[in-house]
Amino acid sequence: MKVLGIDPGSRACGYGLVDFTSGVLVALDFGVWREGDGRLSRRLESLFARAERFLADCRPDAVALETVFAGKSAASAVALSHARGVVLLAAARAGLPTYEYEPLTIKKSITGYGRAEKPQVREMVKSLLSATSAAIPLDAADALATAICHCHHASGPTFDGRTVAC
pLDDT single digits (tens) 5-49: 999 999 999 999 999 998 899 999 999 999 877 899 999 999 999
The CATH number covering residue 6 comes to 3.30.420.10
pLDDT in tens, 39-60: 999 999 999 999 999 999 999 9
- For residue 27, the model assigns a pLDDT of 94
Domains of the chain: total: 1
More confident residue, 75 or 92: 92
Per-residue pLDDT, 71: 61
| pLDDT at 161 (0 to 100) | 40
Range of the domain at 58: 2-165
pTM: 0.90
Catalytic site positions? 7, 66, 139
3-state secondary structure string across 68-137 = CCCCCCHHHHHHHHHHHHHHHHHHHHCCCCEEEECHHHHHHHHHCCCCCCHHHHHHHHHHHCCCCCCCCC
pLDDT digit string (tens) for 101-146? 999 999 999 999 999 999 999 999 999 998 766 689 999 999 999 9
